[in-house]
Structure 1
């Protein structure tokens, strides 16, 4: 009887231990933005290195390409990675990066550049639009931490609440919007558009960038269709006395100009 009891306790303890390990693993995966992420790596030699293999072991989906503009642009458009890593950086790559960032498919992407431990190299990359710059000899732990931070910023804008009372409250959890205290009803596309503009107030977006936002990067929307969507959103915002917040910047695009926070 005693041994039966002990055996039963041990049996349940082992199951409890397994369950706790599974819960811990699931929780770690949930908070690890690298796991399941798509990462595009550009390098002079398109073969996986130690850091690329480490990303794969962390659960990332990694593609490695040589830095050819056409192929990179097509991959960004089709695959939509959450992070672009550029290795073997040199200052003469800055114009190419500027050109790449002008493409609609690059509106949201974070870019991590790696190269020599040199201030001129770092500044040229950052001035060209890179999100961050790391030395090629950086420790693996720092590299992974930076990748995770950039992916986290990229992935979670759609769940970020905008609340600037009494003017605007956008709750992505319930997909509801209040302007000047009055709730307005928006389609999914217009909700996404207003939400993104509200996260970047006073920034002017080109029609190409807005096309990417409205379509979730899935297709190109004609400029006259974008103008119609802006008109529709402004008309709905007018119902709450906020239509003038959505401004047309002639020759450049559109921006959301929120009243000063009280």
Structure 2
């Protein structure tokens, strides 16, 4: 059953959408905690998101950008804003479609089905799955999974991109600037600690599959994959 997440701060509208969409056999969940939208997203792993623009604390544009750091699932904006620039902003920030309020529930369903077909169904682009391997460590970028021997962990999109860069550059050093350029576009301000935080997360994921201390910090340059686990196994 495909999952749809609704991020809408009007409870009556959110519940109306939920009831209507569920009639078509979808698993629908409403986000009520607008401070932790991404926590809900990671827990649910929806196939599609219905996202309002006017939300408490952070707007829908912000949350769409956050979703795009981890997923390419379709995002449909639903908003009372009817300006052309609002629709442009929605698409520029990673949205796939835009519906203005008030709307017909059947229009919403038609757009949901269209986006799901494009992303996962008959119109989806068929690509051969890539697998990167370094001495038994396997990365599946399309699945966002990492495995070693019999252990497998799920990754965020940024974690996968970092590991992919390290494996592609191995045994050379992957520069900090190269990682920043790959992970964040030039319009996004990146705090000095942002990359460090993501590297820490990557190390934890590697540790979960049984590989400890395999991402080496090369002072003043960047990071390098250290395959010392091969020596230990031998």
State the TM-score, normalizing by the size of structure 1.
Answer: 0.49
Residue 165 (structure 2) pairs with residue 227 (structure 1): yes
Q: Which residue of the partner structure matches residue 57 of structure 1?
A: 23
Q: Is the 8 A contact 1:43 1:86 kept in 2?
A: yes
Evaluate the alpha carbon distance shift between residue 126 and residue 99 of structure 1 in structure 2; reply closer, same or farther with a 3 A threshold.
same
Equivalent positions of 1:131-142 (< 5 A) are 131-142=96-107
Using the TM superposition, give the Cα deviation of residue 78 of structure 1 relative to its aligned residue in structure 2, in angstroms: 1.6
Q: Is the 8 A contact 1:42 1:67 kept in 2?
A: no
Using the TM superposition, give the Cα deviation of residue 49 of structure 1 relative to its aligned residue in structure 2, in angstroms: 3.1
Evaluate the alpha carbon distance shift between residue 224 and residue 111 of structure 1 in structure 2; reply closer, same or farther with a 3 A threshold.
closer
Q: Is the 8 A contact 1:69 1:100 kept in 2?
A: no
Using the TM superposition, give the Cα deviation of residue 46 of structure 1 relative to its aligned residue in structure 2, in angstroms: 3.8
The equivalent position to 1:145 in structure 2, one of 79, 94, 110, is: 110
SS of the residue 1:114 aligns to: strand
Is the helix fraction higher in 1 or 2? 1
Equivalent positions of 1:80-119 (< 5 A) are 80-87=45-52, 89-90=53-54, 97-98=61-62, 100-102=64-66, 106-116=70-80, 118-119=82-83
Give the whole-Å Cα distance in 2 for the aligned partners of 1:224 and 1:118.
Answer: 39
Q: Is the 8 A contact 1:76 1:106 kept in 2?
A: no
Q: Is the 8 A contact 1:94 1:124 kept in 2?
A: no
Q: Between Structure 1 and Structure 2, how many residues are aligned?
A: 169
5+ residue gaps, structure 2, are: 147-151, 171-176, 184-234
Evaluate the alpha carbon distance shift between residue 189 and residue 150 of structure 1 in structure 2; reply closer, same or farther with a 3 A threshold.
farther
Give the whole-Å Cα distance in 2 for the aligned partners of 1:46 and 1:136.
Answer: 15
Using the TM superposition, give the Cα deviation of residue 154 of structure 1 relative to its aligned residue in structure 2, in angstroms: 2.7
Evaluate the alpha carbon distance shift between residue 93 and residue 154 of structure 1 in structure 2; reply closer, same or farther with a 3 A threshold.
farther
Q: Which residue of the partner structure matches residue 181 of structure 2?
A: 252
State the TM-score, normalizing by the size of structure 2.
Answer: 0.54
Give the whole-Å Cα distance in 1 for the aligned partners of 2:70 and 2:3.
Answer: 14
SS of the residue 2:144 aligns to: helix
Using the TM superposition, give the Cα deviation of residue 147 of structure 1 relative to its aligned residue in structure 2, in angstroms: 0.4
SS of the residue 1:69 aligns to: coil
5+ residue gaps, structure 1, are: 1-35, 163-169, 177-186, 197-211, 233-248, 255-262
Evaluate the alpha carbon distance shift between residue 118 and residue 188 of structure 1 in structure 2; reply closer, same or farther with a 3 A threshold.
farther
Evaluate the alpha carbon distance shift between residue 217 and residue 252 of structure 1 in structure 2; reply closer, same or farther with a 3 A threshold.
farther
The equivalent position to 1:213 in structure 2, one of 115, 122, 144, is: 144
SS of the residue 2:6 aligns to: strand
